[in-house]
Amino acid sequence: MNNLKKEKKQFISDFKVGSIADTIFVVSKKQIRKKKNNEDYCIVTLQDKEGSIEGVIWTEVFRNSDDFSEGDFVLVKGDIRQYRSSMQLVINSISKIENKEDIEYSDFIRATKKNIDGMFSEIKSYIDSIKNSYLKELLDLYFKDKKFVEDFKNATAAVRYHHAYRGGLLEHTLVVTKICNMLTGVYDNLNRDLLISGAILHDIGKIREYKTGVTIKVSDEGKLLGHITIGYGWILEKIKKIKGFPRDLSERLLHIILSHHGQKEFGSPRRPKFLEAFIVYHVDHMDADIGGYNIILEESKDGEDWSGFAKNFERSIYLKKLKLINENEENTDNKINKTDENNLNQNKKILNQPDKQDELF
Ligand SMILES: [Fe+2]
Ligand SMILES: [Fe+2]
């Protein structure tokens, strides 16, 4: 393509039914399908930093389009229509962008909105708080390795559904770790070192399960083994490098990894069998649900009370904002915020947490 100004003019969040699309996307999925009369048409998932939208390229347009693949940048023109409960882009023309020099990649990569280095230093402070020398050495083998740190910071927690963006694994791991830490102040018969280590390491297999580039793909290793098995093997490998690592501690930590999805049908070869494993499972599940809800909320349009059918929840989700009776009284909100702030400060004191912004509450 010649003379193309490769700047992104529209983002997915700008679209509503009736909009005309004329902008660049990256193709995250391409499926060629057959109509009843055996003619080909194409369904594509188009992505930018705001999210993704499904597009359909009917036979005539598809026949005359450039050949493109998943991961390619394309200039798309078309109309936004309603299709079942979602928006769909009916594509009138699609052309591949061959020269990517002027592409601003950050316009197309979905990434955490939180500060990656800030979150990482919070993880490091949890690691520094671990007293057990074996667990500390194990965590240092990972978190003092530059390549691992870079991969961990960039990793996604999923292809879709929850924390499915660059930095998503770090964001999810930090919240799971924070909540687990908080629970050590609620239940007094927990081993904090084991729980925090399990929380930090529970999903590290995802670093190898997914390939996070402009689009997110599952690696061959991920397809064949999955992150639970990858994590188990990887951690065991590291444990073997640590002289005298107690067998009981090793088995317990590995059990947390193997059981953190809770049920065999959700990919856990073992179900949780002691307190720290129960807690990592419940907290992980909770944060995955909350992350999943937030993605649905973000991708929904203003004014929608219900989402379409959400596959991960197997139901529609209620998105309508709660209106409080007293919401016009300015002081009410302030009062609530003040109480939350007091509770937060109280909790921080109890847990002896570093005084950092706590996203948990
Ligand atoms: Fe997991
Ligand atoms: Fe997780």
Question: Is the same domain home to 152 and 43?
Answer: no
Q: Is residue 305 part of a domain?
A: no
Q: Which ligand is nearest to the CA of 232?
A: 1
In-domain check, residue 331: no
CATH at 289: 1.10.3210
Give per-residue pLDDT as tens, 200-251.
Answer: 999 999 999 998 878 888 999 999 999 999 999 999 999 999 999 999 999 9
Model's pTM, two decimal places? 0.79
pLDDT of residue 355: 36
Residue whose token pair is 């397809």: 223
> pLDDT tens for residues 93-107?
999 998 878 888 889
User: Quick one: 160 and 120 in the same domain?
Assistant: yes
Check whether 350 has a pLDDT greater than 50: no
Ligand whose nearest atom lies closest to the CA of 222? 1
- The CATH number of whichever domain residue 50 belongs to comes to 2.40.50.140
Residue-wise pLDDT for 28-82, tens only, equals 999 999 998 999 999 999 999 888 899 999 999 998 888 899 989 999 999 999 8
pLDDT at 280 > cutoff 70: yes
134 in Cβ contact with 246 (< 8 Å): yes
- If one counts the domains in the chain, the total is 2
Q: Which residues span the domain enclosing 54?
A: 12-105
> pLDDT band at residue 1, thresholds of 50, 70 and 90?
very low
197 vs 246: CA distance, rounded Å = 15
CA of 277 to the centre of ligand 1 (A): 13
pLDDT of residue 340: 57
Give the chain's mean pLDDT. Answer: 87
Q: Report pLDDT for 360.
A: 28
Q: Residue 82 has what pLDDT?
A: 87
What pLDDT was estimated at residue 352?
A: 47
How confident is the model over 147-171, as a mean pLDDT? 90
Task: Please state the rounded mean pLDDT for residues 182-205.
Answer: 97
163 shares its domain with 254: yes
For 44, 49, 138, 139, 227, the CA distances from 201, given in Å and listed in that order, are 35, 28, 10, 8, 11
Q: Within this chain, do residues 137 and 220 fall inside the same structural domain, yes or no?
A: yes
**Nearest listed ligand to the Cα of residue 261:** 1
**How many angstroms does the Cα of residue 261 sit away from the middle of ligand 2?**
8
Does a structural domain hold residue 6? no
